[in-house]
Amino acid sequence: MLPEREESRPTGLLRPTDLVRLQSTVGNQAVSRMLAQRYYEPQVGNSKAKYRFSDNDGIALKAEQAEGGRQVWSTRELMDSANTALKSAGSAIKLVKGGGATWPQENGNVLNQVAPTIRDLKQRSSDTPATEKLKAANRSGAQQTPDSEGVKDSTLALWTDCGSASRVVTGGMVAAKYKKGTISASTRKSYDPAVFADTVYSKVIVPFMEAAVSTPFMKGGVHYTVDPDDADHWLLLAPTDANQARKMYWELGSKGRRAFDKFAGINASANPEVGQTYTTVSEASMPGFKRHGFTWNFHWAGVIMKDGGDNLTLEGYAVMAGEQEIADLRATYTGAELERWQQALSSQVAEPTLVDSKAKLAANYGRQVRLVGKYRVQNLGGHAIVERQPDGSVSKRRTAALVALKGSGLVSLAGRSETEMQALEGQRVVAVGTLQGPASPSARSVAAPNPMPSLVDIASVEPA
């Protein structure tokens, strides 16, 4: 199972792409690789359908495709335990019983179908536009709005962007938890898994070398030098930056890297709790990294249930962009020409572009971006912004939200709530959406203020 490519449209809401997956491993990937898993797939009666069962037969996932499926069963006890943990974590997800059928197991377990839902669907003044969009797509009856494909039904609608979907499970932006042997630690919060990887390698490599478990794997000149005054004494070398720490990690060899992973609680030793998330990242700076036509960037997968050593994740499944295009390329080209075309296609579906300065604005109009800067609130004076609310009413606001970038660049944020503006004013934020250039003079009223770029179809605005 390949790590998925991040979707190029983070604001989409889809039902057909929601995915539940039974897995037990993968933290920060040293090199993009297959996801290791610990489940088993017995034959269920005479059915041709495959089900993946967890360690203790408490979870059964219908394997509708290699990556996972959309139908899952579990014991009532596991569902109740998961809901307690999800609520405690601040998750927006609640698990409910889907239908009245039960599935008795030979070991005495009775499984119920599980349906993930959004915990709170009430319209609240504190909700961001993205939150209200998610809630509206998951309401019932006349209050429900279609998802991005025009679908209205009772199944969960979730963001296609894996990071946004993960934050629905976790309740917001997260830090990475790791270990230094028996000591627990965490990184700063970030939307970028590469930040987590940089921290883990840099902070853990020296404590690992100080531990006895590292001794068989260390190399002179890479991890230590010999004390000139005492040939039996090693002087440990500290990395100068994250990439040197990666080199030191790589030089431990395959067994040494596995020992480091266990020491740090990453890769095959990662085991997030319910309400936490897995994240993977491709490490192009890691020695030994090889590019095979396409480089997957990162993925997030929020954990919604556990059974023994197995975890159940709920993901905004970013289906491989351009699958048919890839197949066509491979049927037409070979060698360097295939590589060139694959790289061109790959660039079309990369993660949103980072825009943190005025100099980067013009080149990214019309693109999905991650806007990073200081959140500002502007008083419009005699002007007002007229907004139509979801209930059909109209309101007027005399303040507007902006993001101030390096180099005196300003970007307008459309339709932000008063609650958000009060909470974020003056803070450094990350806003994800589509960057639009300034409106042309003919498109503006005579009294309009000076034009500036704007961010629309906003998926999230959160502290950096």
| Phi, psi (degrees; rounded to nearest 5) at 463 | -60, 140
- Taking the C-alpha atoms of residue 428 and residue 94, their distance in angstroms, rounded to an integer, is 31
pLDDT for position 343: 57
Domain-located, residue 362? yes
CA 397 to chain centre: 33
Both 105 and 236 in a single domain? no
pLDDT at 327: 61
261 and 392 together in one domain? no
Which CATH number is 432's domain given? 2.40.50
Mean pLDDT across the chain, nearest whole number?
79
Using alpha carbons, list the distances in angstroms from residue 382 to 52, 388, 419.
62, 20, 22
CA distance linking residue 178 with residue 195, whole number of Å: 13
Rg (CA), the chain: 25
pLDDT for the residue numbered 258: 95
Within-domain flag for 60: yes
Does 186 lie in the same domain as 166?
no
State residue 259's pLDDT score: 97
| Size of the chain in residues | 464
pLDDT score for 288: 84
Q: Residue 443 carries which DSSP code? A: G
The pLDDT tens digits of the residues spanning 275-292 come to: 999 998 888 889 988 765
What type of residue sits at position 187? T
Residue 148 inside a domain? The answer is yes
pLDDT at residue 344 is higher than 90: no
- 22 and 167 inside one domain: yes
List pLDDT tens digits, range 197-209.
999 999 999 999 9
Q: Identify whether residues 18 and 125 lie together within a single domain.
A: yes
What contacts 190, CB < 8 A, 6 or more positions away?
Answer: 173, 175, 196
Q: Are 36 and 59 within one domain?
A: yes
| 54 and 149 fall within a common domain | yes
- 57: Cβ contacts below 8 Å, ≥ 6 apart: 105, 107, 109
pLDDT of residue 270: 93
Residue 149 to residue 394: CA distance in whole angstroms: 27
Which percentage of the chain shows pLDDT scores above 90?
41
Return the structure tokens found at 122. 């009430």
CB 333 within 8 A of CB 104: no
Q: pLDDT: is 106 or 96 the higher one?
A: 96
Query: Domain range spanning residue 150?
Result: 13-171+312-316
Render the burial of 208-232: b for 16+ CB within 10 Å, e for the rest.
bbeeeebeebbeeeebeeeeeeeee
Quick check: 450 pLDDT over 60?
no
- Would residue 241 count as lying in a domain? yes
DSSP 307: E
Residue 463 has pLDDT above 50, yes or no: yes
Cβ 123 vs Cβ 132: under 8 Å? yes
Q: Looking at the domain assignment, is residue 358 inside a domain?
A: yes
Q: Are residues 19 and 100 in the same domain?
A: yes
**Does the pLDDT of residue 257 top 90, yes or no?**
yes
- Residue 155 shares a structural domain with residue 223: no
Please check whether residue 283 lies inside any domain of the structure: no
Examine the pLDDT at 307 and tell me if it is beyond 50. yes
Residue 431 has which token pair? 């806003």
Number of domains in the chain: 3
Q: DSSP string covering 205-230, please?
A: HHHHHHSGGGGGG--BTTTEEEETTE
pLDDT at 381 over 50: yes
- Nearby residues of 279 by Cβ (< 8 Å), 6 or more positions away: 27, 28, 166, 176, 193, 196, 298, 299, 300, 301
Q: Are residues 46 and 165 in the same domain?
A: yes
What is the per-residue pLDDT for 50? 79
The single-letter code of the amino acid at 426 is: G
Query: Both 188 and 39 in a single domain?
Result: no
Residues 6+ apart with CB under 8 A from 419: 125, 126
What mean pLDDT is predicted for residues 261-274?
A: 94
Please say if the pLDDT value at position 462 is more than 70.
yes
As beta bridge partners, residue 177 has 186
Long-range contacts of 117-121 (CB under 8 A, 24+ apart): 117/93, 117/156, 118/92, 118/93, 118/94, 118/156, 118/168, 119/86, 119/87, 119/91, 119/92, 119/93, 119/94, 120/92
Q: Are residues 107 and 213 in the same domain?
A: no
pTM (2 d.p.):
0.68
In a domain, 348, yes or no: no
Please check whether residue 225 lies inside any domain of the structure: yes
